Structure 1
Amino acid sequence: MATILTFLLVATFLRPLATAKSTIEPCSNFDTCSALVGYSLYTDLKVSELASIFSVDPISLLLVNAIDISYPDVENHILPAGLFIKTPISCSCVDGIRKSSSTVYKTRPSDTLASISAVIYGGLVSADQIKGANPKAALSDPSVLNIGTKLNIPLPCTCFDNKDNDLPTIYMSYLVTPTDTLMGLAARYATTLTDLMNVNALGSPAIEEGDNTTTLTDLMNVKAVGSPAIEDCDILAIPLSACASNFPRYASDYGLFVPNGSYAIAASHCVQCSCGPGSRSLYCMPTSLAVSCSSMQCKRSNLMLGNVTSQSTSAGCKVTSCSYDGFVNGTIITSLSTSLQPRCPGQQQFPPLVSPPKALPDSLFAPTQAPAPAPSHSPSPSESGGFPKKHSNQKPSVLPSSGAVLGFPPTNIPTGNASVESSGTGSLVNPFSIISTTFLLGSVFKFLLSLPF
């Protein structure tokens, strides 16, 4: 009986080794693009700590997730373990393929390449990939790292010219979980199954001609984890609708793309840009964060950056606007434009903001909510200090629906002190499988005890 139990335990917990798939975009230039990485916190982390892990600006990290940055000391706010966050990164061309070259990690006590790969970065990059990206570092023994060693982390990313079907798009690298399906991901991130499969070279979702036996249920099952389409720990490129900037190449924020329903910071925290719900037009305005900024007034007018005036005429509506044209040599560039439109535009729609989350949502299995409708009245910058006011019925502990994908990463691992022996991506035992395994072993054990010996 002991032999049988031992066999069942070993067979249950050992997972077959497999190489996770990821989207690889060949490239032949030195251009970079805006990209995102989907990440679930492995433990409670301050905003500044999370930003340090990905080498990004904490304010940019919060705004891309539409988290209100007006809270006091928001950079030291503690985000809960398991929270899913979209992280902005710069996607470069390195050795002929797209990857992040700006993410730098500084090793801490007890770090190994395996723990950095599987725990700190959640399986988004393998230990071998980290080792290959740091040929000059002392990594002869990946289980013993000198404290304070700076490592380049080649996070996966894609650009595809920041377009999808010729529309502005920003791509998010997403690590597949055991409960994911392609159809579910397409619905959650407001894309189509066809787009998702085409972007990731997964073939076509169309049913073969002459196959009259395939049902919708069959089609959904084919896209489940474990099928030829996607598997646990694969890394997909998720196309997210975005608003594109039109700044000149010599601007330091050239190529700025803002995901739909979120914000971005620019011009040394002097300017914020938003991409309203369902919008394709980037709207930029002053922010209250800056201590000192260059002039934001459009020349030959009394309009400030973000101001829009309209005047009804017999020929239509005369619209005059003061727009942001990029940050050049420390100067905020603005431009004044006038156009004749069929009708006068309504109030500018802003993405709804949420409070810095303190806990995970009540239900991990609740369906993803639809994007919140824009308020009927959008306050002006002077009313809100640069941001729209929060709704009174807004839950302070829930991220926007576009980022409400949650899991159960290990919460008992101190920062930088986890030790994982596998060097591949996705080497941690998935907590969902642990729960299922516990019930299975309990049932088997009761059954064995009932057998006569």
Structure 2
Amino acid sequence: MSSKTLLLSLLLITVSHLLSGAGATSFSCSGDNRCHSLIGYIPQKPTTIAALQSLFQINPRRSLLTANSLPISTPPSFSLPSHSPIRIPIPCLCSNATGLSNRRPIYTIRPRDNLDAIARRIFNGFVTIREIADANNISDPDRIDVGRRLWIPLPCSCDEVEGKPVVHYGHVAAEGSDLERIAEEFGTTERVLMRVNGIQDPTSLHAGQILDIPLPACSSSIKTDAIDSRLLLPNGSYTLTANNCILCSCSSSTWQLDCHATQGMSKSTCPVTKCGNLLIGNTSNTSCGVSSCSYAGYIINNNANNFTILTNLTTPTTCNNGSSPVSQPSGSSKRIGFQKCIWMEVLVMFFWFLFPMRMIG
């Protein structure tokens, strides 16, 4: 091999390695937090729900469906088009001021695989050759064994942005896109994107660059001591919570979490959730305004195989003299409380009859 040919080969290898890591970036993630993030995966050819679930080890499958506003009944064989972003939920772990997917996904090396193809072609450039090698203690990235299982450390974050909880979304910048249009598309600002991503010059954005986009999340009435207190939903998504008994969605029209009882669930499995006579998610007109019943989270009862769904009754201040909304338990624990009331009534009636009998005697 001539010296010119050798130099050209080395140059091509170097350029390939540089390009494979051109778009990847680390997302800042302070503390030792855990959360769920999203990435906008763009399949290079048509794929299916089952294929994406397998590639990213998404469990349960419904988390993939709900992140993309697909019905729960969507079959695993449902076809997804190429070159259209699919929101992939990933478990995120913050460590050393950086967020990485928490030991998932795991990719098994196949014949003719190499780290460059795995990083760029299979995982969209969300990760680089060096990041895969470092995460898996690979000393020589050009020598990998077929059948070896690799952790793919995808970027993520759990940090609040400007004091507000958000859902961090990894976005691949398209050819010809700019920060202003990207910010408008995802409901944030160019200034926020520049700060979060450490961008000094907005014109420096290039195709394939990975951006950390903080998606605004709907606010809610969920209590801080509830099991799902950290439930965050961005616009255009929904989720099932409270043992699948409650369906919550997020809409940019109100930016308030909208929760209702899940339709089709058995009453023996899910308790009726009300604020008095008002069903969760409903409102009613009163003489002094509109009252509403909102979801406030769920808790597991101590020493019992049941759970309690909390609700929040909000009434106009003219009706409750400015008092704050009242959290009301509903469900199995409420039924137990009703049984106690029945026994109290029985005892009262017993003594009421017993006392007159003594007076007559």
Structure of greater relative contact order (alpha carbons < 8 Å, 6+ residues apart): 1
Aligned positions, number: 300
Q: Is the 8 A contact 1:45 1:79 kept in 2?
A: yes
Unaligned stretches of 5+ in structure 2? Answer: 1-10, 319-361
Aligned residue number for residue 123 of structure 1:
125
Partners of 1:61 and 1:334 lie apart in 2 by 25
Q: Is the 8 A contact 2:68 2:87 kept in 1?
A: yes
Aligned residue number for residue 70 of structure 2:
67
Partners of 1:287 and 1:244 lie apart in 2 by 20
Question: What value does the CA root-mean-square deviation take over the aligned residues?
Answer: 3.4
How far off is 1:50 after superposition?
0.4
Aligned residue number for residue 297 of structure 1:
272
Query: Which of 132, 136, 142 is the aligned partner of 2:134?
Result: 132
Q: Is the 8 A contact 2:67 2:88 kept in 1?
A: yes
Aligned residue number for residue 396 of structure 1:
none
**Could you say if the C-alpha distance between residues 265 and 300 of structure 1 is closer, same or farther in structure 2, counting changes exceeding 3 Å?**
closer
Aligned residue number for residue 193 of structure 2:
196
Q: SS state of the match for residue 123, structure 1?
A: coil
Partners of 1:115 and 1:293 lie apart in 2 by 51
Aligned residue number for residue 113 of structure 1:
115
> For 1:362-381, what aligned pairs fall within 5 Å after superposition?
none
Aligned residue number for residue 387 of structure 1:
none
> For 1:12-411, what aligned pairs fall within 5 Å after superposition?
17=18, 20=22, 22-27=25-30, 29-56=31-58, 57-71=60-74, 74-110=75-111, 111-135=113-137, 142-147=142-147, 149-161=148-160, 163=161, 165-203=162-200, 223=203, 229-245=204-220, 247=222, 252-288=227-263, 294-298=269-273, 301=276, 306-313=280-287, 315-317=288-290, 319-321=291-293, 323-326=295-298, 328=300, 331-341=306-316
For the pair shown, the structure with the greater C-alpha radius of gyration is 2
Q: Is the 8 A contact 1:178 1:232 kept in 2?
A: yes
Deviations 1:22-42 (A, max 9, x none): 253152x32212321111012
Q: SS state of the match for residue 338, structure 1?
A: strand
Q: Is the 8 A contact 1:268 1:290 kept in 2?
A: no
Q: Is the 8 A contact 1:112 1:145 kept in 2?
A: no
Partners of 1:293 and 1:47 lie apart in 2 by 31
Q: When you count strand as a share of all residues, which structure comes out higher?
A: 2
Corresponding letter in the other structure for 1:92: L
Partners of 1:242 and 1:153 lie apart in 2 by 27
What TM-score does the superposition give when structure 1 sets the normalisation length?
A: 0.58
Deviation larger for 60-69 or 250-259: 250-259
Aligned residue number for residue 443 of structure 1:
none
What TM-score does the superposition give when structure 2 sets the normalisation length?
A: 0.71
Aligned residue number for residue 435 of structure 1:
none
Q: Is the 8 A contact 1:272 1:284 kept in 2?
A: yes
Deviations 1:199-238 (A, max 9, x none): 222237xxxxxxxxxxxxxxxxx62xxxxx2223321111
Q: Is the 8 A contact 2:299 2:309 kept in 1?
A: no
Q: Is the 8 A contact 1:270 1:290 kept in 2?
A: yes
